[in-house]
Structure 1
Amino acid sequence: MELTEVLGSPVVQAPMAGGGSTPELVAAVSEAGGFGFLAAGYKTAAAMRAEIERTRQATSRPFGMNLFLPSHDPVDDAALAAYRERLAPEAALLGVEPGTAADRGDGWDAKVADLLADPVAVVSFTFGCPSAEVLRDFQAAGTLTIVTVTSVDEARTATAAGADVLCVQGSEAGGHSGAFTNAAADAANTPLRTLLAEVRLSTELPLIAAGGLADGGDIAETLLLGASAAQLGTVFVACPESGASAVHKAALTDPRFTATAMTRAFSGRPARGLVNRFLTEHSGHAPAAYPDVHYLTAPLRKAAAARGDAGLVNLWAGESYRRAEPGVPAAEIVARLLRGATPAQ
């Protein structure tokens, strides 16, 4: 199965868990000639299926679903308890309690079973590589499989397991590092263009480039470096069809936010976001406990977003965030990207 035949475009809208990837966004991207991705992270299998059906009602074009692999990283319960205590005053000011632990497996088995029973065109994986058996099952169902990698070692592992495609995520990417383990995420600091060249030498699989890409020129450059397509997230965060909060969208052009940084403060796993008060004050204290910290901070983040307080919300953004344009529809973004990615004849 050829990647270009399935995607039909060099423009891939990144799956954005936590609300960013809506059926409306995915349908708009796919209808405009890009390839849209839903995100199953933090949802039940039933909620995932409902979004698939809504997307199918809005477009007849193919789209993808992203799954998080279960977390098997060890957790220091004492460190987690200490972080909860540290955040208690923040929670009290917001009128909420810190959250409690939930399923560390993110409903993996139920989601895999659902997608095998009623497949979508593409399934991508983040935070690890599925077993060879799971990859074969998806391929037998007619689904193209993509594994997110952040190093040459991960690329080799995914290649050996039988993945169809690798999504090569550079250090510039917004949101979570897709590294296979929490420890590997700490070491995933290779810029996209360097990593893309290294991975290109280690595998013959098709590659999708991801990390800090914002316009057609960026896409054209990655295609010249050996990628078959480019995945972009931050440029779609601010569009009307995105499910990102209003405070998140506004922050992308707010002059108060002048940089991005990696942090565990919101989720317990390294992720890139705009530097705000919460990131600055708590990054050095958050334990490597994913998704435990995610669930712990969830009530605080929700309450802060409702109040419009950008200082306490996870403002995921790639290094190219200043090139995002709030209010521009997804279809127009895709059209601009496709024009810019195609060399003038």
Structure 2
Amino acid sequence: MEAEAEWYFQEPITRQPAGPWTITQMRTRWQRDQINGLTPVWRNGMPSWRPIAELPELKEALREAVEEERPPKRRRTLEEVPITHTYTSDEGQLYMAAAFCEQFGLRCPVIMAPMAGSSPVALASAVASGGGMGACGVLAMSPEQIAGWAAGFRAAGGGPLQMNTWVPDPPPARDADHEQRVRDFLGRFGPAVPSAAGDAQPQNFDLQMEAMIEAEPAAISSIMGVFPEQWVRRLQRRGIRWLAVATTVREAQAAEAAGADAIVAQGMEAGGHRGAFRAERAESELVGLFALVPAIAEAVKVPVIATGGIGDPKTAAAALVLGASAVQVGTALLRCPEAKLNEHWAEALAQRPWPEDTAATRAFSGRLGRSLRTAYVQAAEAPDAPRPAPYPVQRGLTKPMLRCSFAGPGEDAERRHLGGHGDGLGGPGGAAGARPPGQGGCGGHLEWGEGDP
């Protein structure tokens, strides 16, 4: 190593170059956790910025300094640090995020939300190749479809991946007369709904779990409750991390006690379905993300992943400062070309950039979820509208409406456009409007440059 000041590194939040520094100066920053193995560095003669971890000579020099100069309690390299939640000093605000990235092989602490029906291989692969964690929501998928999706993801390049399904609800009480009123109401927005539509059942949970475990993702996440003990043991034996969605502090504590490796703190801003353990309490326990994250972070020892309304670097940075180790992004990725979203749904997202243009509703599945305030959602909120049937009956009843052909923007706007508060943070045009230099899809958003992620 040469002694003169020749090394530059990128500041973790601003991404601006800092330097030049000597090795001695960099050792000081290493000891203070201001830089780590993920920090991009550059010096004259290098074709591009590279993480310290990819430069063995530099990495070893910095590690030697750590061994020689740090007190005994600090003599661990980043790879040896377990993922646990602890607040850090001002000099190491992003240490938890760096440790999380090291454990999962990420270059940035960004996870794609596992959106059932909106998790194409192309989108998950783009997120993974961009340095984050891809995802697949398998709720509506058969075991064979899960295996096929996983094979396609590996063929596209693979990378860090989470898969997700719902913890089943108990069988609901049925009311034939009420279901008839719901069918009549839904007929205003699509074809006539047959009486048998409400009998549709979700995919078999146990078979889905088997298929996901065989796919060997880095993590499998739960929503609507905690995994049964036998599945927790299976995940542990296979070395697959369990990420548990929680919407309250009590849910987070219950998930940690059941063996969850990390808590996905879902704020009320999140698009799609709300992960409340008890469906009947979903509306009464709506908590905003930036109140939820620090509360959960104080209450559990495992890492916290923030989700709900994360749509740009500012909200992501705020979540990390409040105690999150990573962020999970859903709505802000939907308009990326890799999402292959229906053009009218994408246009609806583009035209409704403000948080008040979404609504929490049970109108689609019987479970509470956040959607754009479409004509259908507004009609379902009217005083004379029948209350939605319970899950999964309502989900079966709405399928004919959701599956019918979309003739045009006006007709399509009346149907389902799930979305959260995060898409409009960048103003009109939304998150997918940004394209960093040299990047053409959602993978570029993970570079955290001038555009929104």
TM more than 0.5: yes
Partner of residue 172 from structure 1, selected from 257, 261, 269 = 269
**1:166-198: CA deviations, max 9, x gaps?**
100000111110111211322231000101121
**Which of residues 392, 397, 403 in structure 2 aligns to 1:302?**
403
Counterpart among 117, 122, 126 of residue 24 in structure 1: 122
Partners of 1:256 and 1:120 lie apart in 2 by 33
Does the C-alpha gap of structure 1 residues 75 and 276 become closer, same or farther in structure 2, counting only changes over 3 Å? same
Kindly indicate whether residue 449 of structure 2 is the aligned counterpart of residue 330 of structure 1. Answer: no
Q: CA deviation at 1:54?
A: 0.3
The yes-or-no answer on 1:185 pairing with 2:287 is no
Equivalent residues of 2:127, 2:446 under 8 A apart? yes
What pairs with 1:81-160 in structure 2 (closer than 5 Å)?
A: 81-92=180-191, 100-101=197-198, 104-160=201-257
Moved more, 117-126 or 29-38: 117-126
The answer to whether 1:55 aligns with 2:156 is no
Q: Deviations over 1:64-95 (max 9, x none)?
A: 11111112263342433321122234334xx7
CA RMSD in angstroms, aligned pairs only: 2.4
Distance apart, 1:58 and its partner CA: 0.4
Q: How does 1:204-223 map to 2 (within 5 A)?
A: 204-223=301-320
Which residue of 1 is the match for residue 11 of structure 2? none
1:264 aligns with 2:362: yes
Show CA shifts across 1:219-243 (max 9, x none).
1111111110000101101111114
Paired residue secondary structure (1:116): helix
- 1:289 matched to which residue of 2? 390
Greater Cα shift, 242-251 or 213-222: 242-251
Q: What's the secondary structure of 2:377's corresponding residue?
A: helix
Gaps of 5+ in 2: 1-81, 84-99, 435-440
Mapped contact 2:431–2:452 kept (Cα < 8 A): no
Distance in 2 (CA, whole Å) between partners of 1:244 and 1:53 is 22
Q: Is the 8 A contact 1:239 1:330 kept in 2?
A: yes
Q: Is contact 2:219–2:242 with CA below 8 Å preserved after alignment?
A: yes
Listed as ranges, the gaps of 5+ residues in structure 1 are: none
Counterpart residue type for residue 91 of structure 1: G
Corresponding residue number in structure 2 for 1:317: 419
Q: 1:63 to 1:102 in 2, by over 3 A?
A: farther
- Shift in CA distance, 10/81, structure 1 to aligned 2, threshold 3 Å: same
Question: Aligned in 2, Cα 1:155/1:256: closer, same or farther, shift over 3 Å?
Answer: closer
Matched, 1:249 2:346: yes
What amino acid is the match of 2:127? V
Q: 1:306 to 1:41 in 2, by over 3 A?
A: farther
The 3-state SS of whatever aligns with 1:90 is: coil
Q: CA deviation at 1:99?
A: 7.0
Partner of 1:187, secondary structure, is coil
Conservation of the 8 A alpha-carbon contact between 1:175 and 1:272:
yes
Q: Take 2:267 and 2:301, find their aligned partners in 1: how far apart are those partners?
A: 19
Contact 1:182 1:288 (C-alpha < 8 Å) held by counterparts: no
* Paired residues, number: 338
Provide the TM-score with structure 2 as the length reference.
0.70
Q: 1:15 aligns with which of 114, 119, 141?
A: 114
Query: Identity across aligned pairs (percent)?
Result: 29
Higher alpha-carbon Rg: 2
Output the TM-score relative to the length of structure 1.
0.90
Q: Does 1:239 align with 2:339?
A: no
DSSP-derived class of the 1:335 partner = coil
* CA positional deviation for 1:295: 1.9
- Deviation, 1:156, is 1.3
Is the contact between residue 445 and residue 452 of structure 2 (CA under 8 Å) also seen in structure 1?
A: no
